[in-house]
Amino acid sequence: MFRKARIDLVLVLAVTLVSLAGIFTLYTQDIDAANPSYRWMKQLSFFVIGFIIMLVLRKTNYQALGNVSLPIYGFAILLLIVTFFIGSEIKGARSWIRIGPFGFQTSEFAKLAAVILLAKYLELKEKDMEQITSLIIPFSIFLLPMLLIVIQPDLGGAVILAPILLSMLFVAGMDIYHISSILLFFSISMSIPLYIEYNNIMLVDGLLNRLLDLGKEGLLPSVRILRSDIWKFLENGNIPAALSGTDLDYLTRVRDNPTLFIEFQEIARALRYESGGFLLRILDADWFIVLLGSAMTLAAGGMFIWRMTQGGSWRYLRKYYIPLGVIGLSLLSAFAIHSTFSFKYHQIVRVTAFINPDRFPRDLAYQIRASKAAIGSGQVVGKGMFTGEMTVGENPVVPEAFTDFIFTAWAERTGFIGSALLLILLLLIPIRGFQIGLDARDKFGSLLATGISFVFLYHIVFNVGIELGLMPVTGLPLSFMSYGGSHLLMCMTAVGILLNIHQRKHAN
């Protein structure tokens, strides 16, 4: 029957089994709860709706998506922009739009829209992949939603876009030199703001000790109130809008006392200079970063123009102007990101704590410690589906055990054997997607299937790596399993597209 209907049975079964495993895990977290959340029922409803969408899209010609890929992408960008104005803030990120009792995360739709548009563009520009100018549009297609998602701020949703872009470009035949340039751009653009904010956190205790040594106990409350935001306060006198009452009154008095405030600034500046290191001193000089980035970009542009006007004998210049231009643009991008917004305190801790959790207080790196302990407690066969201890309750030992850390909940219950089986099922999904891409009847179908498969693959690899303590915590759901309607519906929609590509390879 399935062969006659031309359905990829392996893909459908893997998606269904993983989704049901997630729903059942949510059910086990509710079964003995004094105040059950009934997340499993909501997730089951999302799965049913998603399954229907998947079946509908299986009958819809995927090539029609390519024809309307630009409007789809434009609508996704519009949703991201609208989110800034009417979005709901959850856990510090304004990423959701609510309509009555329902809400959806706009970044999930943007991921799929970007993949569709990029696949269509790469099909149209198949013969131009070796030209550096062909990078501009693919780069822009992903950079725009990435920046909009970062500003929300949703670090995980933004970071996942970079490897998807690079992988699709590689499969499309892009020059590896150009792909490396994009990787370098994203690395510098994100690492510089992260490094600055990381030092802002690490230097807070040093500032407290310096104030104590100098007998400036009256300034200690300002550091304890603001923590890592103290540096912004000292730089421009900004007080966070969330503060009120006596805290606001105290900080206002400190700021409005010119003699005291200038002395405070000098103490902080001296500490950053002595303890922050040479690199931080350079990065703190915004004017230098802008000047250096602009000079490198202009120099690269000059060499590029010279090569274009002088002919092929100057082709060797690309070895110089490509990395020079990329680094220059990266520095300007890093400055723009750092000046536009700052990563949240908890985001910096989550990103950096995996390298050395013991460097942070237990209450800051607790997610990694708790997740690894819970996974290890499952041992070989697990504690049993209804005997989870660290991933149940209103305040479980492992936070977010129903969403970003649901693999931990599964591992605690089923142990190594159950975890291995789940990983096999999870990896079958992108593997089947890649096979569908190889067998597709046209270039667009092949690139679209491949891009969707990379979306699944990177969500799986990053999420499981995070829960095992091998990667920084960035807040990424586990596809088909984590609680959340937006991501599940996006995944089921993407599977429907894969099934249609698989089906239409047999069409006349």
| DSSP per residue, 442-455 | SHHHHHHHHHHHHH
Instruction: Report the b/e string of 130-156 with b at 16+ CB within 10 A.
Output: eebebbeebbebbbbbbbbbbbbbbbb
Q: Which residues does 462 contact at the CB level (< 8 Å), separation at least 6?
A: 156, 160, 471, 474, 476
pLDDT at 449: 95
What is the reported pTM? Answer: 0.77
Distances (CA, A) of 42 to 39, 81, 91, 244, 505: 5, 28, 20, 38, 35
Tell me the two tokens of residue 360.
């942070």
Cα–Cα distance measured from residue 76 to residue 71, given in angstroms and rounded to the nearest whole number: 9
pLDDT at 36: 75
Cα–Cα distance measured from residue 356 to residue 402, given in angstroms and rounded to the nearest whole number: 25
pLDDT at 181: 79
pLDDT at 364: 59
- At 98, which helix (H) or strand (E)? strand 93-99
- At 253, which helix (H) or strand (E)? helix 245-255
Please state the domain extents for the chain: 2-175+357-504, 204-275
Tell me the two tokens of residue 488.
């599940």
Query: 415 with 423: CB under 8 angstroms?
Result: no
pLDDT at 426: 96
Q: For the chain, give percent helix, strand, coil, nearest 5.
A: 75, 5, 25
Q: Which residues does 153 contact at the CB level (< 8 Å), separation at least 6?
A: 92, 93, 341, 343, 344, 347
pLDDT at 73: 94
pLDDT at 191: 86
Cα–Cα distance measured from residue 388 to residue 28, given in angstroms and rounded to the nearest whole number: 8
| Mean pLDDT for back-to-back runs of 10 residues, the chain (508 residues) | 69 96 90 76 93 92 90 92 77 69 81 94 76 75 87 78 89 80 83 86 88 91 88 86 87 91 92 87 89 94 84 74 88 87 68 65 68 88 84 79 90 93 96 93 92 95 88 84 91 95 74
Three-class DSSP category at 103: strand
Three-class DSSP category at 479: coil
pLDDT at 152: 75
Rg (CA), the chain: 25
